Amino acid sequence: MISDFLDTWSLFKESYLLGWTFSILLPLIGVIVILRRQVFVAVAISQSAVLGMAFFQFLVVAFQFHEDHHEANLIQEAVVLAFSLLASILCLRLPGRPFEQREIATVLVLILSTAFSYVLLADTPIGLKEVNDRISSSLISSDMSEVWISAAISSILILWIFKYHREIYLICVEPVTAKMMGLSVLVWEILISMSIGVGLGWSIHLAGWLFVFGTMIIPVYISIHLSTSMTQVFTLAPLLGLLLNMVGFVLSHKFDYPYSQFSIAFMGSVLLLLKLLFKKRC
pLDDT of residue 280: 47
Cα(271)–Cα(74) distance, integer angstroms: 37
pLDDT of residue 24: 94
Q: Is residue 108 part of a domain?
A: yes
What is residue 170's DSSP assignment?
A: H
DSSP assignments along 112-136, one per residue = HHHHHHHHTTTT-HHHHHHHHHHHH
DSSP assignments along 139-156, one per residue = ---SSHHHHHHHHHHHHH
Q: Is residue 282 part of a domain?
A: no
Q: Write the pLDDT tens digit of every residue in 196-227.
A: 988 988 888 788 888 898 999 999 999 998 88
What is residue 254's DSSP assignment?
A: H
Q: Is residue 158 part of a domain?
A: yes
pLDDT of residue 282: 42
Residue 215: name the closest of 271, 147, 165 by CA.
Answer: 271
Please count the CA atoms within 13 angstroms of the CA of 223 that sit on its side-chain side: 27
Residue 59: name the closest of 72, 40, 69 by CA.
Answer: 72
pTM, rounded to two decimals: 0.85
User: Please, are residues 227 and 31 in contact by the beta-carbon 8 Å criterion?
Assistant: no
Q: Is residue 198 part of a domain?
A: yes
Cα(183)–Cα(166) distance, integer angstroms: 12
Q: Is residue 93 part of a domain?
A: yes
Q: Is residue 78 part of a domain?
A: yes
Cα(146)–Cα(70) distance, integer angstroms: 10
Q: Is residue 253 part of a domain?
A: yes
Q: What are φ and ψ of residue 91, in 5° steps?
A: -95, 15
Q: Say if residue 21 is exposed, middle or buried (CB neighbours under 10 Å; 0-12, 13-18, 19+).
A: buried
User: How many structural domains are present in the chain?
Assistant: 1
What is residue 213's DSSP assignment?
A: H
63 residue type, one letter:
F
Q: Is residue 57 part of a domain?
A: yes
Task: Give the domain extent around 188.
Answer: 2-277
Q: What are φ and ψ of residue 169, in 5° steps?
A: -60, -45
Which residues of the chain fall short of a pLDDT of 50?
280, 282
Secondary structure class of 38 (helix, strand, coil): coil
Residue 268: name the closest of 232, 214, 191, 195 by CA.
Answer: 214
Question: Residue 97: which CATH number?
Answer: 1.10.3470.10
pLDDT of residue 135: 65
